Amino acid sequence: MKRVVITGLGTVSPVGNNTPDFWNAIKNGTSGVGPITRFDTTEFVTKYAAEVKNFDPKERIDRRDARKMDRFSQYSVYAAREAFEQAGFLDKPDSYDPERLGVVLGVGIGGFETIEEGIGALISKGPSRVSPMTIPKMISNIGPAHIAINLRAFGPVYTITTACASATDAIGNAMRHIREGLADIMVAGGAEAPITPLGIAGFNVIQALSSKFTDDPTKASRPFDKDRDGFVMGEGAGLIVLESLEHAQARGATILAEVIGNGFTNDANHLTAPHPEGIGAAKAMTLALRDAGLQPGDIDYINAHGTSTPINDPTETLAIHKTFGDAAASIPVSSTKSVTGHCLGAAGAVEAIAAIMAIRDNFIPPTMNLDEPGEGCDLDYVPNVGRAATVNTAMSNSLGFGGHNGVLIFRRYTA
């Protein structure tokens, strides 16, 4: 099978709308969480989230095209163009075969804003006043479709929806398409824009969101800490350009990392809760190690799913112990959701980008707000201050509602 390398990264996030700004905030532990500004939260239990800030789609997207997109599609195209530019393709359309270029986008929900606007118009004004753009803007496959139109991608183009594992599964599938010779280049990752009244209310009623840190929202996302009370809603997009090694070498591309392993499973246990013994998550990590041809001691860093919920954090910790055995205690683990919040369908991609940058800079980002580990949380979580360390191989975990588990492994590229 072909080796698959990473040649471009694109990010829209609560802490920066490009990859350098995103990574600087992650390294420094600069929180993107604050009061919700999109709507009046007076009647809401949760009043804060990790919103994307100062986002202007016109910086990378034609104004007329942007008007036809839900926010999640705008994030998708914006990040994809940054990644494609870094890879060296954006201004060189003759340097690749569009028939061999594909897109896989992980999306948890789709056009949340558009859905709410459409329902509001239907109820208040009647069916004839629903916008004709409602369906074309809300459907989850429209994100990768917009990317394909924008970048001229005629290869496999589709959406994966596996809740919080969506982006990780998208990158894993893209890797396989290249390995198996179905494409030379894939643009893959995830996008989500769920900070809406229905999004916040829907997660509030199942008691999934943090709500007790209104006085200082920057303290709200606290993975593995004893005072955690739920996740903080985030949003954004992460897109990665994957390429076969031979294609990248032939055009003299700068290679950022290599993706070498992927595992995915399902708990088949509960609609929203992980398996209490972490069986599915552990199996996904084991499969990723096997796919990469690695042993547990070969992993230098784990970017954890680490949602800051009472159930996820000890369960993921248990799964890491099951997978890595005696090696678990010596592997640094951190959750960058402590800075970005939980970006749902985009989470696996922005966290994969953090893992790739950790390899590039030999730097392990911190888990912020970790003052005292909670019960069942006993790993090296790199609390509050990042750490210089040799990172040759990094794992990124994504564990979603519905029991979906996805794991990726990245490695420093060597010829």
- Mapped onto helix, strand or coil, the DSSP state of residue 66 is helix
> DSSP letter at 372?
S
Residue tagged active-site, from 146, 177, 342, 404? 342
205 neighbors 120 (Cβ within 8 angstroms): no
Beta-strand pair 34-35/301-303: unpaired
Residue tagged active-site, from 146, 164, 343, 377? 164
Active site residue 343: no
Residue tagged active-site, from 146, 275, 305, 404? 305
Q: Say how far apart CA 3 and CA 129 lie, in whole Å.
A: 52
Active site residue 305: yes
Active site residue 164: yes
What does the buried/exposed string (b/e) look like for 203-233 if buried means 16 or more CB atoms within 10 Å of the residue's CB? bbeeebbbbebeeebbbbbbbbbebbbbbbb
Output Rg (C-alpha) for the chain, integer angstroms.
Answer: 20
80 neighbors 239 (Cβ within 8 angstroms): yes
Angle at the Cα of 338 from the Cα atoms of 144 and 39, rounded to 5 degrees: 65
Q: What is the dihedral of CA 101, 104, 105, 111, to 10 degrees?
A: 80
278 neighbors 405 (Cβ within 8 angstroms): no
DSSP result, 216-245: -GGGS--TTBTT--SBPBB-EEEEEEEEEH
104 neighbors 160 (Cβ within 8 angstroms): yes
Provide the token pair at 212.
Answer: 């007790």
Provide the token pair at 204.
Answer: 């509030």
What is each CA distance from 405 to 7, 241, 274, 292, 293, in whole angstroms?
Answer: 26, 22, 9, 17, 20
Q: Which residues are catalytic?
A: 164, 305, 342
